Amino acid sequence: MKLKAKTVDKIATGVIVVLALFIVVLLLGLLGFILFRGIGQINWHFLTSAPQLLKGGGGIGPQLFNSIFLLVLTLIITIPLGWGGGIYMAEYAKPGRITSFIRLVVEVLSSFPSIVIGLFGLLLIVNTFGLGFSLLSGAMALAVFNLPLMVRTTEQAFRAVPKEQKEAGLALGLSKWKIITSILLPVALPSLITGTILASGRIFGEAAALMFTAGMSSPPLDFTDWNPTSPRSPINPLRPAETLAVHIWKVNSEGIGPDSKEIAAGASAVLVILVLAFNLSARWIGRVLYRRMTASK
């Protein structure tokens, strides 16, 4: 029996190792293929120049700026709502039907396809609220898309703090809000920042929701005009804005330029590099903050 159990354990271990290696090889192959096709297109002109519809030599400058600006707007909306909702679920919500219903709503919202969020944004934000196809409409739609992840990450980060630290604050007579801001938040901050950066990576790669909210075109941008109400100002949140992910889809499906395939390949490589950078930076920042937190104890 012992020999049979050892044999089964070795077989199971081998199968798990093979599956893990298959996933790693598949991921590396996918990333390598995208980077191999597009890395040669990336240069300063490609990253800063405007796209060309009918002739070659265009770039992704406005789309890259739109993606970064949209990221900032989305985080401005998402962080207060996501962190606030997670803190409420972890520290204020009492077990019961209402709390269970809120948690169910968050779980259901996290499973919605992004195109459904885009249609919701089109009907409510673009048409009903009258914001039109704009960066602000896209940011609000992406905030809805990312809220479940932010709420769950925040709740888990606060629940992971040892109960002894909370009990010590209560023993000192501190208020609940003081305990949250002075004791729990500093300990949970590494996990909060890591979750926020990971959510930011999702924003860069989203396309379906933005096609119906931020639009599929961008006006010519004047980077010398920093008036937020000007239609050609890059920081005007009410202008339509084609992001990098939407641009990749558009070039692949509608591109008529002679180098549309090369532009799409280069833009895909830039997008992959940005997402990888966000994920790696999230892990690095989380480790640094955790080491500093443990060193200060």
Where is mean pLDDT largest: 13-17, 96-100, 205-209, 230-234?
13-17
* pLDDT recorded at residue 19: 93
For residue 38, pLDDT over 60 is answered with yes
Alpha carbon distance 285, 288 (integer Å):
5
| Domains held by the chain: number | 1
Q: Exposed/middle/buried for 93, CB within 10 Å: 0-12, 13-18, 19+?
A: middle
* pLDDT recorded at residue 141: 92
For residue 21, pLDDT over 90 is answered with yes
Is 103:96 a contact under the CB 8 Å cutoff? no
Kindly calculate the radius of gyration of the chain based on its CA atoms and give it in whole angstroms.
23
Where is mean pLDDT largest: 38-47, 103-112, 161-170?
38-47
Q: Is residue 23 part of a domain?
A: no
Where is mean pLDDT largest: 20-24, 196-200, 232-236, 277-281?
20-24
Q: Is residue 15 part of a domain?
A: no
Nearest Cα to 210, choosing from 105, 71, 83, 50?
A: 71
For residue 283, pLDDT over 90 is answered with no
pLDDT confidence tier of residue 133, bands split at 50, 70 and 90? very high
Q: Is residue 70 part of a domain?
A: yes
pLDDT confidence tier of residue 95, bands split at 50, 70 and 90? confident
Is 41:263 a contact under the CB 8 Å cutoff? yes
* pLDDT recorded at residue 10: 83
CB count, 10 Å around CB of 281? 16
**pTM of the prediction?**
0.86
For residue 297, pLDDT over 60 is answered with no
Where is mean pLDDT largest: 2-6, 215-219, 241-245, 252-256?
241-245
Q: Is residue 16 part of a domain?
A: no
Alpha carbon distance 271, 222 (integer Å):
24
Return the beta strands (E) in the chain as ranges.
Answer: none
Average pLDDT over residues 8-23: 89
Alpha carbon distance 125, 212 (integer Å):
10
What range does the domain containing 125 cover? 42-295
Alpha carbon distance 155, 99 (integer Å):
13
Is 215:241 a contact under the CB 8 Å cutoff? yes
Alpha carbon distance 240, 105 (integer Å):
31
Q: Is residue 197 part of a domain?
A: yes
Average pLDDT, the chain: 85
* pLDDT recorded at residue 294: 64
The secondary structure element, H or E, covering residue 243 is none
For residue 140, pLDDT over 90 is answered with yes
First to last CA, the chain: 50
pLDDT tens for 192-222 read 888 888 777 778 888 888 989 998 888 888 8
Q: Is residue 151 part of a domain?
A: yes
Is 191:153 a contact under the CB 8 Å cutoff? yes
Where residue 211 sits, what CATH number does that domain have?
A: 1.10.3720.10
Compute, in degrees rounded to 10, the torsion defined by CA atoms 99, 100, 101, 104. Answer: 120
Q: Is residue 87 part of a domain?
A: yes
Alpha carbon distance 35, 163 (integer Å):
46
Q: Is residue 9 part of a domain?
A: no
Q: Reduce the DSSP state of residue 230 to 3 states and report it.
A: coil
